[in-house]
Amino acid sequence: MKTGEAKKPGILQLRGVRKVFARGTIDEVKALDGIDLVVYERDFITIIGSNGAGKSTLLNIVAGVYPPERGGRVVIGGVNVTNLKEYKRAAYVGRVWQQPEAGTARNLSIEENLSLALLRGQPRGLKLAINRQRRQLFREALAVLGLGLEDRLNTPVGTLSGGQRQALALVMATISRPTILLLDEHIATLDPKTAQTVLQLSDMIIEREKMTAIMVTHNMETALNYGNRLVMMHKGRIIVDIGEKDKKTLSVADLVTAFGRAAGEQFNDDSILLSDS
């Protein structure tokens, strides 16, 4: 049930992507089992799935933390990045992690963190990392958040709250305008109210900066309420891919039914007898 709008160019393409961990051992896990996904420009995809569905592995493959198994292809913005190391494809991929600590450097100040992020994927030189022009840019980018961080450029990031740090991480992930933004359960560790704020900020920034984004979430409501496309994963495969039109009329109950049906089909293919515990 693929309903992406085929007219726009695919900005991210995954073809035959597999990933096996601990191959040949008793712990062998097929984290990704043949993923084909085309993400179109300005798509905002929410990915949902149970634990071990392969959501984070998928984002790690896109970000280049590790390569896919042989035969898989990852193309971003027309460039084949399949075997490009993480730090070499940074220009294409901005990412916000689950832990606020993961996206920011705690001992550096807000402006130093932003300066690092501003040069995402660019060669770094012996120019001073922070100048007046950049500082002005940082102020403007932070002012959008409405959290008052723009007046605290010299504050060490370690003293910020989790929500503030995650909001900063969001700005850091987008300030250099990467080709695609990955949100990896980035509100999962925040308290409900802060999570809602960061979620709305994410939506606002994606809209404002006209970004293409993929957001992994555990929460079905979130997956339904945000984005223009919903992908459900199960056991390393994409089992549901719903476009904007269908998504608007969808409820959580429909999602559960779709999950049961799609997962069931897969069980039939995979001979359920072997995987039954």
Partner 1 sequence: MDVGGLLSVSLYEGLVFGLLTIGVYLTFRVLAFPDLGVDGSFPLGGAIAAVLIVAGANPFLATLAAFGSGLCAGLITGLLNTKLRISALLSGILMMVALYSVNLRIMGGGNVPLLRDVTSFDLVAQILGVRGGMALSIAFVLLVVAIFVTGLNWFLRTEIGLSLRATGDNEQMVRGLGASTNRNVLLGCAISNGLVALAGALVAQNQGFSDVGMGIGMIVMGLAAVIIGEGVFRPRGITSILLSCLGGTFLYRLFINIALRLGMAPGDLKLITAILVVVVLAIPFIRKKIRGEWMPPAARM
Give the binding site for partner 1 (CB under 8 A).
Answer: 63, 86-91, 93, 95, 97, 101-109, 112-113, 115-117, 119-122, 124-130, 154, 156, 172
Question: Which residue's CB is nearer to partner 1, number 198 or number 255?
Answer: 198
239 by DSSP, 3-state: which? strand
In the complex, the smallest distance separating the C-beta of residue 249 from partner 1, rounded to whole angstroms, is: 37
> In this structure, are residues 80 and 42 in contact, taking their beta carbons and an 8 Å threshold?
no
Q: Which of 69, 62, 105, 68 is nearest to 86 (CA)?
A: 62
In the complex, the smallest distance separating the C-beta of residue 146 from partner 1, rounded to whole angstroms, is: 24
The two structure tokens encoding residue 42: 């300005």
Question: Which residue's CB is nearer to partner 1, number 13 or number 113?
Answer: 113
Question: Which residue's CB is nearer to partner 1, number 125 or number 192?
Answer: 125
234: left (phi over 0), alpha (psi -120 to 50) or beta: beta
> In this structure, are residues 240 and 258 in contact, taking their beta carbons and an 8 Å threshold?
yes
Cα-Cα-Cα-Cα dihedral sign, residues 122, 109, 60, 173 = negative
Question: Which residue's CB is nearer to partner 1, number 87 or number 192?
Answer: 87
The string over 222-256, giving b where at least 16 C-beta atoms fall within 10 Å of a residue's C-beta and e elsewhere, is: bbbebbbbbbbbbbbbbbbbbbeebbeeeeeeebe
Pairing of strands 44-49, 212-217: parallel
In the complex, the smallest distance separating the C-beta of residue 121 from partner 1, rounded to whole angstroms, is: 4
In the complex, the smallest distance separating the C-beta of residue 128 from partner 1, rounded to whole angstroms, is: 6
Q: Which of 204, 143, 206 is nearest to 173 (CA)?
A: 206
Tell me, what DSSP letter sits at residue 69? P
Question: Which residue's CB is nearer to partner 1, number 82 or number 115?
Answer: 115
User: Whole-angstrom Cα distance, residue 158 to residue 155?
Assistant: 8
Tell me the one-letter amino acid at 26.
I
User: Whole-angstrom Cα distance, residue 198 to residue 215?
Assistant: 13
User: Whole-angstrom Cα distance, residue 184 to residue 194?
Assistant: 16
In the complex, the smallest distance separating the C-beta of residue 61 from partner 1, rounded to whole angstroms, is: 14
In the complex, the smallest distance separating the C-beta of residue 109 from partner 1, rounded to whole angstroms, is: 8
In the complex, the smallest distance separating the C-beta of residue 265 from partner 1, rounded to whole angstroms, is: 36
Question: Which residue's CB is nearer to partner 1, number 23 or number 106?
Answer: 106
Question: Which residue's CB is nearer to partner 1, number 119 or number 188?
Answer: 119
